[in-house]
Every structure is written in structure tokens, then in C-alpha cells.
């Protein structure tokens, strides 16, 4: 048994030293890459009878990368070898950063020349359709499966795997079930642990691609499981507030974050017929102005736009001037509340709905869009809908739906 040291003098991988956009930020690697590296190392160790401390794999982005092997353990009966790699998320780590990705390799007679991938402790099991993975199987997505298979077969060919044998790879993640509680896995029907993911093999610092993909996946799962109404929240807080007013299953709630526009288009593509935006004044002010990938609008809330909207709702000129000088969206909201200018919030919500339909263009008729705006304590400030029947609201006690569009 050996345990390779992890220290500053020994980088996790050659690839982790690369930078992004010249800013000196380290790229990291995915759970899929770690699994491929660990499984290749375990295959080499099993077939050669020697410990492995470093291993090189080929990434989907066309680069070779060397990983340091954290552990290399041979079973007491000699029938399997486990190797592990510590996941490094680079300079934009997620909750899986630092997790130990373990792969145990053994031989089998059932699938000569093939690689059979299993999930062990800490790897989730797929329980619902829509993820692209067979229900009942381990949560290992398509690209990581290919990476693991190719890496194992390369090692097998180089080190003399008997022709009448196949390889079984069991992936496990110590503590994975607990880490998974910090992810959206359960909502997607992935239970008991983490997913083995990664379409490129690398984690680009501050890239939004993975975030957008996770939003699309959540919508896909909802659609595949027969839901026609989803809730697109701007964050976890607004989602929690919305659950007091909407009677929908947990799967219907999608944390769209800054991707409200792409989420609407995904809903149409997946034949979802109703989408409800839920959020607070900052994000809603940008959406009401037609910005549906909201980070492109900058960090500042346009208080002039909001003050003009308040003016359309009858706010006195002096109040409008005070609103224009507000330091933030929250400050604007406090001014509006202090002066009793609450009628602007339903109007703001209606603007969000109308701009959503403008964004969808010819597809607008395929999707009813609602909007619910909350304050920072969870009070519903206003709501609106493109449907004449309004938003299907309930009270926290489960009262019948309210018909008003706010």
C-alpha cells in the first residue's frame, strides 16, 4: 500500500497549472476525469502488481493530463485494487472540491474485453427518468463513462489483460452522501450520493456553462416526469418564499439564477406550458428591462427605471426623486414601502411577464408566464401573469387558488 504525499512541491496535475484568459486562474478537473484517472491507475496496479503514484489520461478537450494518485490499496485476497484521486476544482471550487474519488478494479468473466462500471458508497443512484442515465443505474454520465472505459482499456492493452477477462470498475466517494445534500441531486432523482460528471474533463474558473447545463437538466427532468408547470427562481431564498404560495412538487422548482431567459426557452423546447418567475426587486428590475441573462446588465440596479415606473403608477415627483437616488434595489424597495407606493410591484411583475413573451417571440403562445416579487423577509409584494386567470396562488394554509393577476 502507498499514499502519495500532497504538498505544494507536488502539483495535483500538469493541467491544473494552466491559466484562463491570462488571469492566472487555475483550471480544475471534474469528477469524471478523477474517476478515469483513478480507474486507470487501479487497472495498472492490478495487472502489474506494483503501486502507482501518477497516471496520465486523455481529456475530451484534446489534452493529456497527469494526475497524482492519492491512495493505491490492494485487497488482502489480491482480487482487486483501489486507487483514488483527490478532486481539485482549481480556482473556482464547488462542493466536491477535495473529495476523494475512489475506483476499485477487479476482473470478471461475464464481459470479456469490456468495462463494467458500478456505483459504490457515495455515488448516487438514478431513480427518475430525464437525466440521460438509465433508471436504477449509478449516476455516471455519458462522457465520464467513455473516459473511464477508454482509460481502463488503454491500461489493459498495455499491461496484458487476459483475452477472456473483462474489467469491473466500482466508483465510490467517502462522504459523498453528505456532500450530495448540498447539491440539487435529490431534486433530480439522484439519491444516495454524488454524480460523476463532466463533458470536457476540466473545470474552467468562473465559467457559467456548467451552471446553465444544470438548469437545463432540472427542466428536462421536470418535463420527462410529466410536469407542465415549473418555477424559475433567482435564488434559494426566493424559492423558499414561493413554496408558501404555490402548490407544486419539489421537482417543479428550478434555481435558474441568472439564466431566466435560457430557462424560458428550454421550457418551450421541452413543452412545459407554464413558468413562474420568483425573485426580488433587483433581478426583477433587470428582467423588466429585457435583460434575461441578468449578470450582463451589470451589478447595479437601474433606480431611474424603477422610479419612472413608480411615476407611471402615480408616485409624487418628490418621491420619484428620492427613489432615483436609492443606493440599491433594497433601498428603493424600502422607500416605496415607506411612501405607500405598493402598486408599482404588480406593474413590475407584469413587465417581467410581458418582456418574457417578447423574448420568446413566435413561441410566446406556448408558455404562460407568471411573476412573483418578494421582499427580503418573504412578503409577497406583487404578482402578475400573462394568463387572464392570473397566478394559481394558494395561502400557506392551502386555501383555494386566487384568481387575481395582481
Task: Give the pLDDT confidence of 104-152 residue by residue, as tens digits.
Answer: 999 998 889 999 999 999 999 999 998 889 999 999 999 999 999 999 9
At residue 325 the predicted structure's pLDDT band, cuts being 50, 70 and 90, is very high
DSSP state of 63: -
**Mean pLDDT computed over every residue of the chain:** 88
Q: Which three cell numbers stand for residue 110?
A: 461475464
| List of domains in the chain | 2-203 (3.30.2110.10), 209-385 (no CATH)
Q: Is the pLDDT of residue 298 over 90?
A: no
User: Under DSSP, is residue 318 helix (H, G, I), strand (E, B) or coil?
Assistant: helix
Q: What is the pLDDT of residue 292?
A: 86
Q: Which three cell numbers stand for residue 266?
A: 428550454
Q: What is the pLDDT of residue 258?
A: 87
Q: What is the pLDDT of residue 206?
A: 58
Q: Which residues of 46-68 are buried (b: 16+ CB within 10 A; e: fewer)?
A: bbeeebbbebebebbeeeebebb
Whole-structure pTM over 0.75, yes or no? no
Q: Are 57 and 65 in contact (CB under 8 A)?
A: yes
Which carries the bigger pLDDT value, residue 62 or residue 169?
A: 169
Q: What is the pLDDT of residue 211?
A: 78
Q: What is the pLDDT of residue 385?
A: 97
Average pLDDT value for residue range 362-385: 96
Q: What is the pLDDT of residue 24?
A: 55
- The CA-atom distances, in angstroms, between 155 and each of 40, 114, 176, 199, 240 are 6, 13, 27, 22, 49
Distance CA 68, CA 91 (A): 18
Distance CA 374, CA 83 (A): 49
Residue 171 gets the label, from left (phi > 0), alpha (psi -120 to 50) or beta, of beta
Q: What is the pLDDT of residue 132?
A: 87
Q: Is the pLDDT of residue 404 over 50?
A: no
Average pLDDT value for residue range 379-384: 95
The percentage of residues in the chain with a pLDDT greater than 70, rounded to a whole number, is 88
Q: What is the pLDDT of residue 12?
A: 27
Average pLDDT value for residue range 266-293: 94
Place of cell 473511464: 148
Q: Is the pLDDT of residue 9 over 50?
A: no
Q: What is the pLDDT of residue 114?
A: 95
Average pLDDT value for residue range 220-247: 94
Q: Which three cell numbers stand for residue 273?
A: 406550458
Q: What is the pLDDT of residue 384?
A: 97
Average pLDDT value for residue range 345-373: 97
Distance CA 343, CA 345 (A): 6
Distance CA 360, CA 57 (A): 43
Angle ∠(370,374,375) on CA atoms, nearest 5: 160
Which carries the bigger pLDDT value, residue 58 or residue 204?
A: 58
Distance CA 192, CA 180 (A): 8
Average pLDDT value for residue range 392-406: 48
How many CA atoms lie less than 13 Å away from 94 in the CB half-sphere?
22
Handedness of CA 352, 353, 357, 358 (dihedral sign): negative
Average pLDDT value for residue range 376-403: 76
Q: What is the pLDDT of residue 92?
A: 67
At residue 210 the predicted structure's pLDDT band, cuts being 50, 70 and 90, is confident
Distance CA 381, CA 404 (A): 14
Among the ranges given (191-195, 200-204, 332-336, 361-365), the one the predictor scored with the smallest mean pLDDT: 200-204
Q: Is the pLDDT of residue 14 over 90?
A: no
At residue 387 the predicted structure's pLDDT band, cuts being 50, 70 and 90, is very high
Q: Is the pLDDT of residue 18 over 60?
A: no
Amino acid at each position: 500500500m502507498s499514499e502519495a504525499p500532497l504538498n505544494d512541491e507536488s502539483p495535483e496535475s500538469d493541467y491544473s497549472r494552466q491559466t484562463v484568459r491570462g488571469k492566472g486562474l487555475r483550471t480544475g478537473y471534474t469528477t469524471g476525469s478523477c474517476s478515469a484517472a483513478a480507474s486507470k491507475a487501479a487497472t495498472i496496479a492490478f495487472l502489474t502488481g506494483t503501486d502507482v503514484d501518477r497516471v496520465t489520461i486523455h481529456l475530451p478537450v484534446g489534452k493529456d493530463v497527469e494526475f497524482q494518485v492519492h491512495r493505491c490499496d490492494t485487497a488482502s485476497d489480491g482480487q482487486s485494487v483501489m486507487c483514488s484521486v483527490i478532486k481539485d476544482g482549481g480556482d473556482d471550487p464547488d462542493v466536491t472540491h477535495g473529495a476523494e474519488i475512489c475506483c476499485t478494479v477487479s476482473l470478471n468473466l461475464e464481459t470479456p474485453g469490456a468495462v463494467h462500471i458500478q456505483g459504490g458508497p457515495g455515488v448516487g443512484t438514478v431513480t427518475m427518468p430525464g437525466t440521460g442515465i438509465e433508471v436504477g443505474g449509478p449516476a455516471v454520465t455519458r462522457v465520464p463513462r467513455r473516459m473511464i472505459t477508454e482509460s481502463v482499456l488503454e491500461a489493459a492493452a498495455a499491461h496484458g489483460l487476459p483475452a477472456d477477462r473483462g474489467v469491473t470498475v466500482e466508483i465510490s466517494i467517502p462522504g459523498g452522501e453528505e456532500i450530495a445534500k448540498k447539491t440539487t441531486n435529490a431534486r433530480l432523482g439522484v439519491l444516495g450520493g454524488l454524480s460523476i460528471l463532466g463533458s470536457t474533463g476540466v473545470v474552467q474558473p468562473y465559467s457559467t456553462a456548467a451552471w446553465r447545463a444544470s438548469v437545463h437538466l432540472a427542466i428536462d427532468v421536470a418535463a420527462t416526469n410529466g410536469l407542465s408547470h415549473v418555477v424559475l427562481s433567482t435564488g434559494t431564498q426566493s424559492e423558499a418564499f414561493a413554496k408558501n404560495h404555490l402548490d407544486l412538487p419539489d421537482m417543479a422548482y428550478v434555481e435558474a439564477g441568472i439564466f431566466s431567459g435560457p430557462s424560458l426557452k428550454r421550457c418551450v423546447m421541452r413543452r412545459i406550458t407554464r413558468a413562474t418567475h420568483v425573485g426580488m426587486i433587483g433581478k426583477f428590475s433587470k428582467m423588466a428591462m429585457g435583460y434575461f441573462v441578468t449578470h450582463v446588465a451589470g451589478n447595479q440596479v437601474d433606480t431611474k427605471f424603477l422610479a419612472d415606473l413608480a411615476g407611471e403608477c402615480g408616485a409624487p415627483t418628490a418621491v420619484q426623486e428620492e427613489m432615483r437616488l436609492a443606493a440599491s434595489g433594497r433601498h428603493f424597495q424600502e422607500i416605496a414601502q415607506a411612501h405607500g407606493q405598493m402598486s408599482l410591484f404588480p406593474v413590475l411583475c407584469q413587465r417581467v411577464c410581458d418582456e418574457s413573451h417578447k423574448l420568446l417571440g413566435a413561441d410566446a403562445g406556448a408558455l404562460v408566464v407568471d411573476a412573483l416579487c418578494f421582499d427580503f423577509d418573504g412578503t409577497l409584494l406583487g404578482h402578475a401573469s400573462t394568463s387572464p386567470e392570473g397566478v394559481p396562488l394558494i395561502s400557506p394554509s392551502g386555501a383555494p387558488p386566487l384568481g387575481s393577476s395582481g
